[in-house]
Amino acid sequence: MVLTRAMQACKGIGTGVWLVWHGLCGFARTVWTRDPLAEAGLGEAMARFVWGPVVTLIGLAVLTGVIAGVAAGQVLQVYNVPLLIVAALADALMRQILPLVVGVFASGSVSVELASRLGALSLAREVDALEAMGHDPVPRLLGPPIIAVLLASPVHMLIAALSALLGAGIALHLGANLAYHTFTQIALTDQTGHALLIGMGKALLFATIALMVGATVGAKPVRAPAEIGRHAGRAFTTGLLAIFAAASLWAVLA
């Protein structure tokens, strides 16, 4: 039983890697030939995956910063060492917490979106129609989302970082009477910038995992409309497990 599950997991990882790589390379060739359909698909994917989630992501990041700031403020009231506490708070936000927030957000949007969309296209026989017309469906269907999500990941991480620091600064000012300029002087340092770069790398990895999970689950044939919802739910839970497993492995190896 364990061996079977392990083989299925390896097969799923291989399928996800192949779909993402094939979709990325195939779509790059399509864009190189100035295909208007490919350019239109990329513009739609950029709007959906890059700019569409920004408002929700800002809200999540601000609330995350507030929660972290309240906890840090409680410690600051007991131990009046703002230099250590604020620096540790900023480092933890950039390096550990926010990449997971962005990753979970990607799992809940990217993997579910891909699995649902591919399932709906499979049910409507549009994938078969593309193959009948002599087109490779992978680059056309997966290429635009892949490029958009990979471009969105560092942008989302930067937006989340600024929003979380804003929330944490407000919480520390109101809860621990820490001046805003003191918070910014401690939080906005080269060390925080280095931690942000590491967080961007993590967020990019988590977004790639969400892409692979969504593509792998969505590639399975759909025979009834109810299966689309089941595929979306499976993509979300599988993506979460894979992202947290990757985060744990990163923490152990770092």
Residue 140 has pLDDT above 90, yes or no: no
* Number of Cα atoms under 13 Å in the Cβ half of residue 133: 10
Q: What phi, psi does 211 have (nearest 5°)? A: -65, -45
d(CA 6, CA 248): 18
pLDDT on residue 196: 93
Mean pLDDT of the chain: 83
Q: Mutual orientation of helices 82-92 and 180-187 as an angle, nearest 10°?
A: 60
Contacts of residue 201, defined as CB under 8 A and 6 or more positions apart, other chains included, come to none
Who has greater pLDDT, 127 or 19?
A: 19
Q: Please give the backbone phi and psi of residue 113, each rounded to the nearest 5 degrees, phi first.
A: -60, -45
More confident site: 192 or 23: 192
| 250: confidence class by pLDDT, cuts 50, 70, 90 | confident
Asked if the model's pLDDT at residue 69 lies above 80, the reply is yes
| C-alpha pair distances (Å), 95 with each of 87, 110, 127, 247 | 12, 22, 40, 11
Tell me if 111 sits within 8 A of 214, measured CB to CB.
yes
pLDDT greater than 80 at residue 252 = yes
Torsion of CA 54, 57, 58, 64, to 10 degrees: -170
Indicate the DSSP class of residue 95. I
Quote the CA–CA distance of 38 and 210 in Å, as a whole number: 22
pLDDT band (50, 70, 90) for residue 2: low
Q: What is the pLDDT of residue 109?
A: 77
Higher pLDDT, 37 or 243: 243
- Burial (Cβ within 10 Å: 0-12, 13-18, ≥19) of residue 172: buried
The structure tokens 């906005």 sit at 188
Q: Are 195 and 95 in contact (CB under 8 A)?
A: yes
CA distance 57 to 162: 11
